[in-house]
Amino acid sequence: MKSNQLVLLVILFGLANLAKADDFGFTHFQIAAEPIVINYHVLLSDGKTESKKPVIVFLQGSGPYPIFWKSGDNTATTVVFSKEQLKGYYFVVISKPGIPFYGDSNDEVPRVYHELMDFSYRAETASLVIKELLKKPWVDKKRIILVGFSEGAYLAPKVAAQNDEVTHLACFLGGSLSQAYDPAFNLLNDEKHAGDHSEELLNDLDDYLQILRDINQDADSTTKFWRGHTYKMWTGFFDYSPKNDLVKLGIPIFYAIGSKDRASPFEGNIIVPVEFARLGKKNLTLEICRNCDHGFNEISSNGKPEINPRFDEYTSKFFQWLKKQ
């Protein structure tokens, strides 16, 4: 991308973030970085930064979503906590590259997002934001809480391991192994195979192995996609197993998963408490939403998620846990 185009993008994205953040109670901040600035936003429950408070740094899930966006007649958000829950904390969320604070579900994804967005970029960006927050006089440096949701929960253990200042870690609906294993676990659980290691299952597995080979052969591609993400994006997450950093951490860890989650399969996630028990580590709090999917929705007898989700139940458990740490 030409330098003058990047300068224009920086200006436009900065204005888009600044224009809307205040409307939702957030204050917009920027960090000068290459190739584009980093935009992050702080929710001020009392509208001020006068008193020191703990900080919650939130890592969103996957996809090119704004913090808030218009979806039909409604407004959706990647923020999973309520303002009531966040009282007493400074809540920090980071915009993804090229994505404004507020947008529309029909907005075209900018090319810069696909060019920059990968595991390393997300980890480096989060670390820079944490280092910037530590300079703020209103931040209680004794309580730097890192929270990841879905893809953000796969990423959060790496960020925590890279930043000793992080004092608490929470992973919601993440995973413990490389994401490369997740589709294989789902093949084994697919209803059409009915637990039978049939020829059809093995053929499906062969198809998936070919996808992995294709991604590996063009690992840095930002123009080839699988399941909505670039090969470059997949490569970084395939190369990383969160459990390797989780077991090294000595800080309190809150780990919430669903037993019927297909995006982050239970078979991989159960390795985390097994490893902590095997190593005699006692800093993990495990919460399993039994019979729940990737949104903490209970799965009914017909295999469909129930309308009444249990998400608030598990975010409430997190804040109760946090008060005790």
What are the tokens at 263? 């995006």
**Using 50, 70 and 90 to split pLDDT, how confident is the model at 307?**
low
In the chain, the number of structural domains is: 1
**Using 50, 70 and 90 to split pLDDT, how confident is the model at 13?**
very low
Q: How far apart are CA 202 and CA 223, in angstroms?
A: 29
Residues 86-144 pLDDT 10s? 999 999 999 999 999 999 878 899 999 999 999 999 999 999 999 999 999 999 999 99
Cβ-Cβ contacts under 8 Å for 137 (sequence gap 6 or more): 52
Percent of the chain with pLDDT over 90: 74
Residues 167-204 pLDDT 10s? 999 999 999 999 999 999 988 877 665 556 678 888 88
Burial of 17 (0-12, 13-18, 19+ CB in 10 A): buried
Mean pLDDT within 225-253: 97
Neighbours of 46 (CB within 10 A): 10
pLDDT surpasses 70 at 208: yes
One-letter amino acid of 199: E
Give the mean pLDDT of the chain. Answer: 89
Residues 52-88 pLDDT 10s? 999 999 999 999 999 999 888 888 899 999 999 999 9
Q: Are strands 68-71 and 74-77 parallel, antiparallel or unpaired?
A: antiparallel
Return the CATH number at 106.
Answer: 3.40.50.1820
For 206, the 3-state DSSP assignment is helix
Q: How far apart are CA 304 and CA 302, in angstroms?
A: 6
pLDDT of the residue at 4? 41
Q: Answer whether 218's CB lies under 8 Å from 224's CB.
A: yes
Range of the domain at 265: 3-324
Mean pLDDT within 300-318: 82
Q: How far apart are CA 132 and CA 119, in angstroms?
A: 20
Q: How far apart are CA 80 and CA 158, in angstroms?
A: 21
**pTM for this structure?**
0.91
CA contacts within 13 A on the Cβ side of 87: 3
